[in-house]
A and B are shown apart, each in its own frame.
Chain A
Amino acid sequence: MNETNETIDSATGTHSAAVDTHANDVIQPEHDVTRPGHWHRLRAGLSILFASRAAVVGLIIVLFWVSAAVLAPLLTPYTPLEQDWKAPNQGPSMAHPLGTDELGRDLWSRLIYGARVVLVILPISESVWLPGGTALWGVFVALVVGTTLGLVSGYFGGWLDEVVMRLLDAMMAVPIILLFLIIMAALGASAVNVVIAITIVGTPGIARLVRSLTLDIRTREYVRAAETRGENPFYIMFAEILPNARGPIIVDAMLRVGYAIFAMGTLGFLGLGLPPPSPDWGSMVAKGREFILEGSPWAALWPSVAIASLVVGLNLLADGLREESMRYQ
């Protein structure tokens, strides 16, 4: 397989994400040879961010949801589980700004506690939870697995590369929804299993992206130099190649978080999301849907809007970052 073919492969490498628009222009590893200090890097990053209006709008939307999630208990007098059996399926009112769901629970409260599940906490069981949202954990684990596979495959090449890539190709040839479905049907509905499903679905795309970046970077002088120094291959992969590939990976990861939120919604819709009474957006839509034709669309409307807005925010942020960083170079 020659280099030209690689370009094609890398184009296919990231097409799987729903909202990913960078299929052919992402392969731009950073030429970060000078390695400035942390503070300098942060400032450079922020200036890129603020240079793009799209990125700023995206950031505002994302920050809105993150702060709503973190501050949820302060933003509403209700808990997301409090039922009012005299007032189910109500429209917006003074008492309930967004209305109530089928059990008389406050929709605004459920919405912002739902943002927690996505962005801030990973509920392991009723009482145990990990920091970092379900979508974030899914993408993070996929990043770890996918990056490792991509680095190893791209750096070593040969039969190892061939085998890994063929397996990942096979995984990517299965429609994502089917893959999700088979996995969730096999594992059962829980937050941890949603993380596992997002990981399995996300890994091939990330591995492909990282592999094509690795193929490019490993021909650079500093990698050659490290090889001549006789460094451990894993040191080269993780300390030399990976840091220089991080830009596209971060942008890709942001889009993937958006996709993971979308996927959680779809799973909830199919009845394979987080178990009730968790205020999971997808499950909220799925349950509220039953009442739309009865004349109470609110319970399904708000979480749909929430999913859409958060994904738009992440997309804008990622797009803006990518465009500005390209211009920066």
Chain B
Amino acid sequence: MGKFIVRRLVLLLLTMLLVSMAVFLITEASPGNVARNVLGAFVTPEQEASFLAQLGLDKPVWQRYVHWLFGSDWKAARKIGLRLKRLVTEKGFVEWWAIDESGRPVRWKLQGDDLVAELRQPDGKTVRKIDNRRWESDPQGGWSFWGVDNANHAVRWQKGTDRKVWTFIMGSGWKQSSGGPEEYLPLKKGFIRGDPGESLRTGRPVGDSLYVRLRNSLVLAGIAFVIVMPLALFLGLLAGLKEGSIRDRVLSVGGMMFSVIPEFATGIFLILIVAVWWQLVPGATVFGEKAPWERPDMLILPVLTLTLIELGYVLRITRASMVEVMRSPYIRTAYLKGLPYWRIITKHAVRNALMAPITVIMLHVNWLMGGIVIVEVVFGYPGLGKYLLDSALYKDINALEAGAMILVIVAVGTQLVADIIYTIINPRIRYT
């Protein structure tokens, strides 16, 4: 058993690796351009190029994948020659600093031809000083320097190049200088070191948004799960008890009907009827920074929509399983032994009939996630599904990858749990 679990965990990691590569490649191949999405329609090509460079999107795809997975700070630290440190400020902003020779955090910026160091004091304030000694002469005859800027990039600044640029310095006005930032390396720790990066779409650390979104989705899915499962199992057993009876037909066909009406249609008609015409419950979810459980009335319609979709599916699996059990020889034997009807049902049939649905339900979690995406869109629910949908449309690779990884863990993890439950209720199966 232990060996089996270890094997499955290794497979999980392998699957995650494969999926993350595939998502990276497909996103890469798809049309669309983050710069246009973020900066708006009216950017010029130069602005676009500089934006892409600052995000590190001008680098080849394999390099970006490596940075995403393992981080880029180790690479930047080698170029800068100083240790780098990731700080979270009081207001919650993530900042990268280099640690200078005397152990103080430092960043730089270029003012005209001067390199200005910003030294972070223990109280969070910064002190500035000219730091031109760090320039190193480069083979082209100019000067260059790798450092950290105030927007979490490692930057190679240059001066003394042919490029003449005008920069605006407060206090002294516009000045002509001869260089500027030449190359950017956005700093991140990498996914396997616990940093999924910053969302390109919102500019926020993916982890922050994802936590709230995942929580909200889990609440929605959890409530739906708790309502659907007992109900569906019960109705399924009831339907399967006597195959072909009116009760069976009504329940299984009824369940099927609801499960095949597309959830976007169910959702909007529920809004129209229950929220707009009858005005019973809110037709939308508006949480602000509140948690979903603080407004349970707003969860009613989304949960109802999910329930309608999911109920029929589980009901029919349970029914099929129950039908099979009721046909099986041991039930017939029990009859022949003269055991009372309800005893046969409760003692023999139900236990066996529930085996298959429980595992299938676990495997079904993946599909449940799909239904949640649409329900979240229809009700404006701030969940993971909607976040992923937006991320996919915007080519927001960091957010997409992190979300996909979570979903893979959920999908493969529930499969594993299903297998384990299966061995517990059916001890004849052994995994090696």
- A residues contacting B by CB (< 8 A) are 2, 4-5, 7-8, 11-12, 15-16, 18-19, 21-25, 54, 166-167, 169-178, 181-183, 185-188, 258, 262, 265-266, 269-270, 282, 285-286, 289, 292-293, 297, 300-301, 304-305, 307-308, 311-312, 315-316
Contacts and interface: CB of A to CB of B under 8 A. Distances in A.
A293 B370 contact: no
Contacts of B264: 265-266, 269, 285-286, 289
B15 A169 contact: yes
B152 interface: no
8 contacts: A11-B359, A25-B320, A169-B11, A176-B367, A182-B392, A187-B30, A286-B264, A308-B262
Interface of B: 11, 14-15, 18-19, 22-23, 26-27, 29-32, 253, 256-257, 259-262, 264-265, 268-269, 271-272, 276, 313, 316-317, 320-321, 324, 356, 359-360, 363-364, 366-367, 369-370, 373-374, 385, 388-389, 392-393, 395, 400, 403-404, 407-408, 411-412, 415, 419, 422, 429-432
Contacts of B366: 15-16, 172-173, 175-176
Given A175-B369, A307-B262, A293 B26 contact: no
Contact of B367 (A15, A300, A301, A311): A15
Contacts of B411: 172-175
B360 A11 contact: yes
Contacts of B392: 178, 181-182, 185
A124 B264 CA distance: 27
A293 B276 contact: yes
Nearest to B422: A8
Contact of A185 (B14, B30, B429): B30
B318 to A, nearest CB: 10
A297 B273 CA distance: 11
A275 to B, nearest CB: 16
A19 B320 contact: no
Given A24-B360, A182-B23, A170 B389 contact: no
A265 B262 CA distance: 7
Contacts of B259: 18-19
A304 B356 contact: no
A262 B276 CA distance: 27
A169 B264 CA distance: 28
B228 to A, nearest CB: 15
- The 7 A-B pairs at the shortest CB distance, nearest first, are namely A186-B30, A304-B265, A177-B370, A311-B260, A170-B18, A21-B316, A308-B261
A19 B14 contact: no
B221 to A, nearest CB: 12
B256 A315 contact: yes
A228 B59 CA distance: 56
A167 B360 CA distance: 22
Given A166-B11, A174-B407, A174-B408, A183 B317 contact: no
Contacts of B360: 11, 15, 23-24
Contacts of B393: 181, 185
Nearest to A4: B429
B236 to A, nearest CB: 10
Contact of A186 (B29, B313, B370, B403): B29
B13 to A, nearest CB: 11
A316 B257 CA distance: 10
A289 B262 contact: no
A130 B230 CA distance: 47
A300 B265 CA distance: 7
A15 B363 contact: yes
